[in-house]
Structures are given as C-alpha cells and as structure tokens.
Amino acid sequence: MRRVYLDNNATTPLLPEVFEAMRPYFAERFGNASSIHHHGQETRAAVENARESAAELLGCRASEIVFTSGGTEADNLAISGLAKGGDHVITSSIEHHAVLHACRHLDETGSEVTYLPVDGRGLVDPGDVRRALRPDTKLISIMMANNETGVLQPVEEIGRIAAEAGVLFHTDAVQAAGKVATEVVRIGCHALSISGHKMHAPQGVGALYVKKGTRIQPLFYGGRHERSRRAGTENVPGIVALGKAAELAKAALDRGDDKKMAALRDRLEQGILAQVDEAGVNGRGVPRVPSTTNLHFEHIDGEAIVIALDLKGLAVSTGAACSSGAIEPSHVLLAMGLRPDQARASIRFSLGKQTTADDIDFALALVPETIARLRELSPLYKKGTAVI
Ligand code: PLP
C-alpha cells in the first residue's frame, strides 16, 4: 500500500545524506570527544565541525551553540538556566509543553509566570508583552513557530521590547529552524532552541544557542562538556547529523526551497477547502512556516479522521493530545478561541523535505471523500441541518 507521511511536525525522516554523515560515528569513529588520542581528536573535530554548521544556520558564533538531547532539554535549559526562584517570567499560553511545564515548575518553586493570551489567529500581541513587564521580570520565552498551527510569532518585535527593558529573551525555534530564517541577531534573542528530528536529523539531539556573555545555570552536573553548560559525553553521531541537517537546511533556504514547500502546502489547503464545506484554517491570514496547515472540520471527530486516513495510507495528526487516557482538545487551539469540539475536530498536515507534488495529490484525493464519508456516519452531522 502506498503511504504518504504528512506529519513532519511530529518528526521528520532522516535524509540519506544525514545518515551517511553520521554512519561512521557509530562504528569505526567511536572515540570519546574528550580523549586526547587520535580517536578522541577525530570525534572532537566532527563535533566542532557540526557546531560550526549549526552556528551558520543561526548566524551566531560556534561557541554559542550548546548541544543537548533535543528540543525539550534545550527549552528546559533555557527556562531553568536563565531564571530562578523569585524571578518573574513572561511566556505565552500556546507554548510547547517543554516550555509550559518548565515554567509551571518555576511557578511552583517561587517564581511568578505570566501566561499571555493569543488572538483568534494564534498571535501574541507584543503590546501584551510590554504591559506584562515588571521590575523583577528576568525572562521572556515566546516561541518562534507554533508546532500545531505553524503560526510565526512577532519575535523580532518581542526581541526589541526585551532589549529595551534589559530582560532576557528565549525563543523556542524547534518548528522554525530550517523552515524560515532564524538568525539570532535579527531576532534579538539571548537563547534559541532547535531540535534535530524536526529538521531531518535523528531523534535525541538538539541545541540551545546561548548568547555570548549570558550566564546560564546548567541543568545537571558532571564534566566540563559544552563549556560547562551541559555535562555528559557528547552524542557524536547525533551531533554530526544535526550539523549536516543544519548545513542542508541553510543551503535549501538559500535556494528558496521554502517557497516551493509553501506552494505545495497552499495547494493542499486550498484544494481541501474547495471540496469540503464547514471547514477552516486555524491560523488564517498570518505568517506561518511553509510546512504546516491546521484545519478544523465541523461535525466530526479528529481522531476518526486520523484513523480513517491512516487506513488509506495517509499519516496526519489531530489537534488533540491524549493525556491520562482522555482525549483533550489542544491547549493551543482552545487559546485561539476554538470551541472544544472544533479543536478536537482539527487536523494538522505538515510537510517535509521529502514531500512531493504527488503526495499532495494523494492527500487531495483522500481527504475530502474521507470527511464526507465520516460525516455521513456521524450523529453530529445531518446534511443541511447540523446538530451542533
Ligand atoms: N518545542 C516545540 C515547538 C516542539 O514542537 C517540540 C516537539 O514537538 C519540542 C519543543 C520538543 O522537542 P524534542 O522532541 O526534540 O524534545
């Protein structure tokens, strides 16, 4: 059966070039990058090379890159490392749980966190950021691109507000890196998180940019790896892969591949909306990463759509998460003002570098008929006389 994968915001497949780059570091190039002999020097050089590539993608110095185990660790390092008990922190209500739950932990340990709302399009108002500032505000953490809707936040404006106020600014760019320009100087941030597996490197590796001169408390203690900012023997194959993926991502952005991806995404979005009534885009009319569209379909259950499409070979995801056995509507979509039933009936389609025009045709052939069939079966839907 043909299978098409449109869930690249969950994870992306390894690019063959990335796999080839990391492969030697599983076997013949196995040295500990801290060893002074040949084997260690070989892996040290590979790690530093990868650091240069990551730095080039972010427009920063190599020494400002701290490799981590992924986006979650990068976010936690930024939040817990830049703020401490007693500090005031500003974040948004639509952050990934890696940021939200790190902030919740700060909240429980003597800090105060302000969770800013978003408007119906999923945007944080920079004016709200300014109004939330207090004399004890230490850190602002606002994501660059939302993982569910792809909506891009006005991070440059927020960066300017942070600079004027003398407050640290962290942005979670896990879903933005490689899809849009992520130059830290333009953003004006002190810390920025990225994750390998969202940009065609493997799961289990990421990085945090930490601006030179910014004091950061490590999450855990051990050796002096990563300039004492992240202890632990380096995941050399993962780091090499992240470096290669960053290099490929930068080259693709320089070529303008993001515009091709946006065109595919727009064709998918418009094609579905032209064929399905009572549907809409979550995050319409605002800048989004080119990979993502999130659509709500009235009178239907998102889980049912995902399962039905999966049975036909199309992998997508819902705007809902399973927590303690119950299907909870997405906190992001609820924060944007969707009703719980609309949030549960939302589907995220996310493209990757491997996505082709044929894949989009495949999805366009499947989605409208699947929605129509499920609506026919749904007790919530009576043609012309919607029950909700
Ligand atoms: N931040 C965002 C916006 C994400 O989408 C994700 C993963 O979905 C993370 C952080 C966590 O990254 P990782 O899976 O590498 O821990």
Q: How confident is the model over 193-209, as a mean pLDDT?
A: 98
Kindly indicate the confidence band of residue 316, based on its pLDDT and cuts at 50, 70 and 90. Answer: very high
pLDDT digits (tens, 9 = 90+) for 121-135: 999 999 999 999 999
Residue 328 pLDDT class (50, 70, 90 cuts)? confident
Consecutive H or E run containing 315: strand 314-315
Mean pLDDT for the stretch of residues 78-82: 98
Q: Is 154 helix (H, G, I), strand (E, B) or coil?
A: coil
> Which of 155-169, 325-339, 367-381 has the largest mean confidence?
155-169
Instruction: Identify which of 204, 221, 183 has the alpha carbon closest to the alpha carbon of residue 64.
Output: 183
The DSSP output letter for 23 is: G
18-47: pLDDT as tens digits = 999 999 999 999 999 999 999 999 999 999
Report residue 381's pLDDT band, with 50, 70 and 90 as the boundaries.
confident
Q: Are strands 168-172 and 346-350 parallel, antiparallel or unpaired?
A: unpaired
281-307 exposure pattern, b = at least 16 Cβ within 10 A, e = fewer: bbbbebebbbbbbbbbbbbbbbebbbe
Q: Which residues line ligand 1 (CB under 6 A)?
A: 70-72, 75, 96, 98, 143, 147, 172, 174-175, 195, 197, 206
Q: What is the mean pLDDT of residues 245-261?
A: 98
CA atoms within 13 A on the CB side of 73: 19
Q: What pLDDT, on the 0 to 100 scale, is given for residue 378?
A: 81
In angstroms, what is the span from residue 72 Cα to ligand 1's centroid? 6
60 in active site: no
Residue 388 binned pLDDT confidence (cut-offs 50, 70, 90): very low
Gap from CA of 324 to ligand 1 centroid (Å): 20
Distance 274 CA to ligand 1 centre (A): 32
Q: Is 183 left (phi over 0), alpha (psi -120 to 50) or beta?
A: beta
